[in-house]
Structure 1
């Protein structure tokens, strides 16, 4: 039977209507179950960052307090906010008043971590490092959902997904941020584009492309290289591995799709049962070892030991710090950076490591022709003798000072460091820690709390994170 043109048009319209309804229904289902609908954010006003204090306070009283998830802690930002973890949400409060400024909530997704590498507040849109507050949420067993937020307003800047292992930790250094998982490390540049994936790749493009049999316990990042502490099944000592922050710098990077499969820059056997990373530059890495005696060991980019300084740090504190958590999570060395100095806390001991420019003499590696194992290149005169030493300028590291008896990370104000100690905050000189002098303690009433205390300075306020409580002192 042949349908008339009018009836065919009516059937076509009915079919088109059914298709349109199906598309709308599918879109509704996708929206109702999507991350977009599950995510809510309440942005705040643009408020100028507070000016940093130039002198330590003479007294401190509690001005405000808010709760936070003790497993995640809080982030004190120089932009004038303190970001806390409350359920599935990252909530920023004003550092001066404790009043809520903004929030970001992934809804049903677990909050994995919040972090920031900001040490100053020139504006979050300034490129060159990962600026702002990075919020990491879970999905499908990974801490994969990452959003970089403006610290002042909470507005979204960059977003990415990565197979970050649950129980991992954020790390910041140079122009990069990274995730330290127990078996997988990733680094991202300031727009969250991945530069490195190192470890047990979840879906390697080629067989045998994974770095198996090792667990990562620490990571530290600089502009041109990063280092990890690794414990491997075939090694009884802690290994430190130096790697490039981008495969483009690797001399033997693959030409095919497996861009992350290249040899590390150096693999170092520390000879110690435990190791912690205290400092890094483009030329050096400072490693705290437990054996044979506690010391800070400096290695160059080839993995050669170039310095060793014994330090007054209990060996057991190093061993205890260089472990995964009871649930298999990572615990990188807590640290605060101020200018050229990095203050790390291992156990109850603070170790100050300072970056400095230095001149060193090196001897160039002789060529094959000079060694006599290869005929000289025609037209090129071979050297008559060994290569002469040359002087190079490098970014070196040195041990500044140590102090024991700390409860957690210190706050830095001008040329002073405020150390969290029982009963309050002890003020010492940032340059030398006032050796041999019992420092004055600014009393702080912690209402009987005697656990870990991390301090930070934001404007005129001192922020203390005490387990599940964040307190503003002024």
Structure 2
């Protein structure tokens, strides 16, 4: 009969060592987990419904302001005002600024956008701006999330159907549930090789509609920018479908100031800066070139002055408005040609009571959207204003101005 096995001191030491190693590993995994550095505080009840304004205010005064360093523009969604700052996204009562909910991650906040009655927040980890969460606007509850390789800096924009996440090397299009419908540009680990039409291109500018995604890119071997028109939702997200791709040959096509301005169902508007005279031809003024659904240029519209580096495009419904740095240009939704211009403005517009509100010195200008004529001038006294671009938004009777890294509520 064999003698029973006995535990030695070495056996006990080995078991303790293994147990400690497992505990340390578990702690490391927990510390690095996405949820560890996340704080999500939701509202006790949905935000009260805000009724749209039926008339313009006679004057506006500051009600509250809050830090808003990560949003690209003044944001509202559902029945709340939205701010993003220092890793925290907040849904605020529009009248008081009280935080109804907030969502914080221990990561840099790449950008915040609103669409579909939600708030979309993107954070940066070791794979770039890859961590994206969609929050219910009225409660702050997490709806969906996605994670994918992205550039270290991206720009989020929405067209009413899709979200565009644009970086210098790659872009993605997302549906309303954050499912990716298209990846374009650099692919870090392609499942199938040779799925992208070109490689090594720098993505300079892009905009989208429900039917078209237009990208300006500079590719190896091209001496000027290329305009590529894509299907925003091809059959397979990893296989882009081109409607057309053209190397631009017009004067100024090699300028870093070239940019996609607006995209409709079958047209793309591109901004060209002015060009100097050459031995082969005269100089040209700044202009908007309109391209068809495959990228062919079909019209050119000269501009009164070039745009500054502060130029910003705002989409309201089917209309596009361009803040050029000192003027506001409205584009025709059908032709994308300039329809009217208002000079001496300070930023981007929003709609209130059927009128277009545009920030100007010492107030907000109310315009007729059909022709840009002035309907009213609403006085505003801006505290601490240092000449920054003003982004305007409206929710109910409250007007919001984002400037200088702060969101100001006016009522």
Same fold per superposition (TM over 0.5)? yes
Q: C-alpha distance in 1, partners of 2:122/2:296?
A: 37
- What is aligned with 2:323? 345
Query: Residue 373 of structure 1 aligns with which residue?
Result: none
Q: Give the alignment of 1:278-297 within 5 angstroms.
A: 278-291=261-274, 292-297=284-289
Describe how 1:85-104 pairs up with structure 2 within 5 A.
Answer: 85-104=84-103
What is the Cα deviation at residue 305 of structure 1? 2.4
Question: 1: distance between equivalents of 2:297 and 2:259?
Answer: 16
Q: Contact 1:43–1:102 at 8 Å: present in 2 too?
A: yes
1:62 equivalent in alignment to 2:73: no
Q: Where does residue 231 of structure 2 map in the other structure? A: 244
Cα deviation 1:405-451 (Å, max 9, x = unaligned): 222111211331111112121121111111xx6x7432211134122
Greater Cα shift, 92-101 or 200-209: 200-209
Aligned to 2:333: 355
1:421 alignment counterpart: 360
- 1:454 Cα offset (Å): 1.0
Q: What's the counterpart of residue 138 of structure 2?
A: 152
1:30 aligns with 2:29: yes
Write the mapping of 1:141-180 to structure 2, written as runs, cut at 5 A: 141-180=127-166
Residue in structure 2 matched with residue 406 of structure 1 by the alignment: 345
Q: Which runs of 5+ in 1 are unaligned?
A: 9-14, 119-123, 125-131, 322-332, 357-395
1:447 equivalent among 372, 383, 388: 383
Deviations 1:263-298 (A, max 9, x none): 563325162334333332221122232243223322
- Contact 1:68-1:74 at 8 Å conserved across structures: no
The alignment partner of 1:308 has SS state of strand
Larger Cα-atom Rg? 1
Q: How big is each residue's C-alpha offset from its partner over 1:46-100, in whole Å with a ceiling of 9 and x where there is no partner?
A: 123311112221100111111222x545542142222222212112221111111
Secondary structure, aligned partner of 2:333: strand
8 Å contact kept, 1:279–1:342: yes
Distance 1:270 1:95 in 2: 49
Q: 1:23: how far off?
A: 5.8
Task: Report Cα offsets for 1:345-364 as digits up to 9, x if no partner.
Answer: 232232212324xxxxxxxx
CA distance in 1, matches of 2:369, 2:78: 23
Does the Cα contact within 8 Å between 1:353 and 1:400 map onto a contact in 2? Answer: yes
Q: Is the 8 A contact 1:287 1:297 kept in 2?
A: yes
Equivalent-residue separation in structure 2 for 1:215 and 1:196 (angstroms):
17
Q: Secondary structure at the match of 1:30?
A: helix
Shift, 1:340, TM fit? 2.6
Match of 1:194 among 164, 180, 193: 180
Question: What is the RMSD computed on CA atoms of the aligned residues?
Answer: 3.1
**Alignment check: 8 A CA contact 1:73 1:468 kept:** no
1:50 corresponds to? 50
Q: Structure 1 294/278 Cα, relative in aligned 2: closer, same or farther at 3 Å?
A: same
Q: Measured at CA, do residues 472 and 204 of structure 1 come closer, stay the same or move farther in structure 2, by a change above 3 Å?
A: same
Which residue of structure 2 aligns with residue 381 of structure 1? none
SS in 2 for 1:36: coil
Residue range with higher mean Cα deviation, 415-424 or 458-467: 415-424
Q: Distance in 2 between matches of 1:225 and 1:167?
A: 23
**1:304 alignment partner, one of 296, 310, 313:** 296
Superposed counterparts of 1:197-236, under 5 Å: 197-205=183-191, 206=193, 209=196, 211-232=198-219, 234-236=221-223
The count of corresponding residues between Structure 1 and Structure 2 is 392
Q: Match of 1:182, SS?
A: coil
Partner residue, 2:279: none
CA distance in 2, matches of 1:286, 1:2: 89
User: Residues 188 and 3 from structure 1, CA distance in 2 versus in 1: closer, same or farther, beyond 3 angstroms?
Assistant: farther
